[in-house]
């Protein structure tokens, strides 16, 4: 049903006469009458009956007018929301990698306080799978990453905004370890160590192999572990060394963390979403809160564009 005709019906119920509706809308009485004739055909029921020289609404007409009030109110609320005038409301499906929690959770706490009308539903996926999910419409917004030494090609259907970078550390047994930025010479001293890599994140193993190859050896990857606490525990027990992101590193007796520096580069973090989705205000608001949180925990945080 046409919104204009629904508005005319609401005005008729409010004002009582065709002439009054004509006056407030600026339409001729005959034009108003024609609109009501079309509306009756759309509704499939008589909406008006003659009442002397006036008309009155039938029970069906009064009921449709009640619906019209709600429908038009929702339309106005939607227009206000998309124009930035009203409080943003809606569900945003957010996909994130596990170790993004120190970035994501503070943002969601602030968002829930400031914008309770936005509901964020979290899904955990590593970045490669998250990008597929975003493309397929299974998520609206994603927090994804890539290693600076292993850049990935982002799908052209997605718009991606960088929100900062995170340093990488080598977790190693603290006995005789050096916590200064790693050098090739010190890395070569770990040529015989038992290395740890994730069984699921191929880019992590690729980074370890590239870093070690640059130092002149092939790492002996012994452990396939995805749990970073276990990676740290293996290092504390003298059973392995591995790369951990700075935000996930845990101060633990027996573990020393050495920044990888230029040998391993950094992990760059992005917000990704379908190109058209960035126009929706709830997604823009969630993105702003994630960007604000990134300023607290990430390095080299660039400005976030005002609109997608």
Residues 152 and 206 in one domain: yes
Tokens standing for residue 83: 């124009």
Alpha-carbon distance of 29 to 36, in angstroms, equals 11
- Confidence (pLDDT) at 233: 93
Name the band, by pLDDT with cuts 50, 70 and 90, for residue 279.
confident
Q: How many CB atoms lie within 10 A of CB 4?
A: 12
Same domain for 124 and 32: no
**What CATH number does the domain containing 24 carry?**
1.10.10.10
- 3-class secondary structure, 159: strand
pTM over 0.85: no
Question: Is the same domain home to 233 and 304?
Answer: yes
Residue pair 94/122 in contact (Cβ under 8 Å)? The answer is yes
**Percentage above 90 pLDDT, the chain:** 62
Q: Write out the residue range of the structural domain in which residue 9 sits.
A: 3-82
Domain boundary among 30, 52, 82: 82
Do 11 and 131 fall into the same domain? no
Give the pair of three-digit tokens for residue 142: 């994603």
Q: Extract the tokens encoding 8.
A: 């005319």
Q: In the listed set 41, 66, 82, which residue is the last one of a domain according to the structure?
A: 82
Instruction: State the total domains in the chain.
Output: 2
Phi and psi, residue 207, nearest 5°: -65, -45
Mean pLDDT of 217-235: 93
CA distances to 180, 192, 247, 260, 285 from 184, rounded to whole Å, are: 12, 14, 24, 10, 44
pLDDT of res. 308: 45
Find out whether 181 and 258 touch, Cβ atoms under 8 Å: yes
Note the pLDDT tens digit of each residue in 282-297: 999 999 999 999 999 9
One domain for residues 96 and 61:
no
Q: Are residues 109 and 169 in the same domain?
A: yes
Assign 82 a pLDDT band (cuts: 50, 70, 90).
low
**Are 156 and 298 found together in one domain?**
yes
Judge whether 10 and 72 are in contact, CB under 8 Å. Answer: yes
Q: Are residues 8 and 98 in the same domain?
A: no
Angstrom distance (rounded) from CA 37 to CA 53: 17
Question: Domain check: are 211 and 228 in the same one?
Answer: yes
- Alpha-helical (H) ranges within 83-191 are 101-114, 127-135, 184-188
Which of 155-177 are b and which e, b meaning 16 or more Cβ less than 10 Å from the residue's Cβ? eeebbbbbbbbbbbbbbbbbeeb
Bridging pattern class, strands 158-173 and 266-274: antiparallel
| Mean pLDDT for the stretch of residues 152-157 | 88
Residues 202 and 292 both lie in one domain: yes
Q: Are residues 188 and 301 in the same domain?
A: yes
Do 11 and 67 fall into the same domain? yes
Average pLDDT of the chain to the nearest whole number: 90
Whichever domain contains 204, its CATH number is 3.40.190.290
Distance of CA 56 to the CA centre of its chain: 51
Domain-ending residue, one of 67, 82, 97: 82
């Amino acid at each position: 049903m046409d919104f204009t005709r629904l508005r005319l019906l609401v005005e008729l119920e409010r004002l009582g006469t065709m002439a009054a509706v004509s006056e407030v809308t600026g339409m001729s009485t005959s034009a108003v009458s024609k609109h009501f004739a079309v509306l009756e055909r759309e509704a499939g029921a008589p909406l008006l009956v003659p009442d002397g020289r006036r008309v009155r609404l039938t029970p069906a007409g009064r009921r449709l007018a009640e619906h019209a009030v709600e429908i038009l109110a929702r339309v106005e609320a939607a227009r206000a929301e998309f124009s930035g005038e009203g409080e943003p409301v809606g569900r945003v499906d957010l996909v994130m990698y596990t170790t993004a929690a120190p970035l994501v959770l503070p943002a969601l706490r602030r968002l829930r306080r400031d914008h309770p009308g936005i509901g964020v539903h979290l899904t955990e996926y590593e970045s490669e799978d998250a990008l597929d999910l975003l493309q397929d419409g299974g998520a609206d917004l994603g927090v994804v990453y890539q290693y600076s030494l292993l850049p990935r090609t982002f799908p052209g259907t997605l718009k991606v905004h960088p929100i900062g970078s995170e340093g990488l550390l080598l977790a190693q047994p603290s006995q005789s370890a050096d916590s200064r930025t790693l050098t090739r010479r010190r890395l070569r001293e770990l040529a015989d160590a038992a290395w740890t890599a994730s069984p699921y994140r191929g880019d992590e193993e690729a980074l370890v192999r590239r870093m070690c190859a640059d130092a002149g050896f092939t790492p002996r990857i012994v452990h396939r572990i995805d749990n970073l606490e276990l990676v740290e525990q293996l290092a504390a027990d003298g059973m392995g060394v591995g790369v951990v992101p700075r935000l996930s590193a845990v101060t633990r007796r027996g573990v020393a963390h050495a920044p990888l520096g230029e040998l391993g580069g950094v992990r760059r973090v992005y917000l990704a979403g379908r190109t058209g989705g960035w126009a929706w205000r709830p997604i823009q608001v969630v993105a702003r809160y994630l960007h604000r949180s990134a300023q607290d925990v990430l390095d080299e945080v660039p400005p976030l564009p005002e609109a997608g």
